[in-house]
Amino acid sequence: MTPDEPTRGRTAANGTAANGTAADGTASEGTTRNGATLNLTTPGGLAQRPLVFAHRGSSAAFAEHTRAAYLQALADGADGVECDVHLTRDQHVVLLHDANLDRTSDGTGPVAERTLRELRQLDFSSWKGARIPETYGARSEQLLTLPELLDVLRGAGRPVKLAIELKHPSPYQLKLEDRVLEVLRSEGWDPGSSTVDNVAVTFMSFSPDSVRHLLQSVPAQYICQLVDDLTVHEIRGGLGLGLITGGAVANLMKATQLEGERILDAGLVGLAGPGIDYVRERPDTIRQWLEAGRRFRVWTVDSAEDVALCRELGIQEVTTNVPARVLSQLQVAPSQGR
């Protein structure tokens, strides 16, 4: 038996769209990266501006994944928001990036070992040092479940996109995917259109197993295979593990990356989710996937240079910690559900 969702917290205020002048940009006919020429203009040579997703909310302004961060994202005019999800011990879907509590709360230990009630006792916002306006909720209201995020987005007063990243490895394995879909169905999610009221939902993971499992229940066009530009040497060094153990883990992660690339090569999903470093370093792969009709959601795009690159290449979606700044650079108001 799965638990009922708890009583919801504060109802979201309407988000205020960022002001701007709509304008189509002209893409370069021959953009060169690493010696390869990308010829990626849309028909007629005009590139629509990318949709802008707020990465864990407006996470440069407020603590990531908090009510304040998501309300600020709506006020910033973001076309959509991104979230990472984990399961609690009592099977609630909560919005957190890390499997452990240490970095983004005053708690410690695995998220999976705490009940939702226990998590509610922790502080998930003060570490950022940003004062939260009263209209964005009290400190005790900042941790969000997936249904609570949907409530926030329902209050936007306009179409909003939601990108859900399923985090692996998870102690609950693919039960994470099943529980997320179960919660969405209870909220009125329509699998055919992948919408809940005004919210258009897509699913993402670095895990090919997660992606293949989702394909059993979700149309391919709403699934994004995430990929990163990894080398065994970089992974081993970043993990700080010994030569043998670190090498084994690094090889496993590299194998996961290669399997994700095979999924995109085969066209099993409609969305490709490379990091911005991947876009810079692998122009031939980017061209191949774009020409094959993959839709791109590139992360994490914060600098003016990276925003310009993505627009120049015809990238359709970008994820950023600073949506207001990116939208200002793109000089357009939020899309109405493109």
Per the CB < 8 A criterion, the answer to whether 213 and 204 are in contact is no
Confidence of residue 291 (pLDDT cuts 50, 70, 90): very high
pLDDT of 281 strictly over 90: yes
pLDDT of 233 strictly over 90: no
* CATH number for the segment(s) 28-330: 3.20.20.190
SS3 letters for 105-173?
CCCCCEHHHCCHHHHCCCCCCHHHCCCCCHHHCCHHHCCCEHHHHHHHHHCCCCCEEEEEEECCCCCCC
Q: Give me the pLDDT at residue 253, please.
A: 86
pLDDT of 17 strictly over 80: no
Q: What is the pTM of this model?
A: 0.84
Q: Per residue in 81-118, pLDDT tens?
A: 999 999 999 999 999 999 999 999 999 999 999 999 99
pLDDT of 239 strictly over 80: no
pLDDT of 179 strictly over 80: yes
- Using alpha carbons, select from 318, 252, 313, 320 the residue that is nearest to residue 288: 313
Decide if 55 is catalytic. yes
- Using alpha carbons, select from 63, 82, 95 the residue that is nearest to residue 180: 95
Q: Does residue 240 sit in helix, strand or coil?
A: coil
Q: Give me the pLDDT at residue 326, please.
A: 98
Per the CB < 8 A criterion, the answer to whether 158 and 198 are in contact is yes
In whole angstroms, give the CA distance from residue 243 to residue 15: 50
Confidence of residue 37 (pLDDT cuts 50, 70, 90): very low
Q: Give me the pLDDT at residue 242, please.
A: 58
φ, ψ of residue 323 to 5 degrees: the values are: -60, -35
Q: Give me the pLDDT at residue 19, please.
A: 34
Average pLDDT over residues 123-135: 98
SS3 letters for 253-281?
HHHHHHHHHHHHHCCCCCEEEEEHHHHHH
Decide if 97 is catalytic. yes
pLDDT of 215 strictly over 60: yes
Enter the DSSP assignment of 201: E
Mean of per-residue pLDDT scores for the chain: 86
Rg (CA), the chain: 20
User: Buried (b) or exposed (e) across 186-203, using 16+ Cβ within 10 A?
Assistant: ebebeeeebbbebbbbbb
Average pLDDT over residues 309-323: 97
Q: Give me the pLDDT at residue 282, please.
A: 94
For residue 283, whether the previous peptide bond is cis, meaning omega lies within 30 degrees of 0, is: no
Confidence of residue 1 (pLDDT cuts 50, 70, 90): very low
Residue 41, Cβ neighbours under 10 Å: how many? 18
Alpha carbon 320 to chain centroid, angstroms: 9
Q: Which of 55, 65, 92, 213 is catalytic?
A: 55
Average pLDDT over residues 25-51: 49
Average pLDDT over residues 173-201: 99
Q: Which of 65, 97, 168, 213 is catalytic?
A: 97
Instruction: Return the bridge partners of 182, or none.
Output: none
In whole angstroms, give the CA distance from residue 141 to residue 143: 6
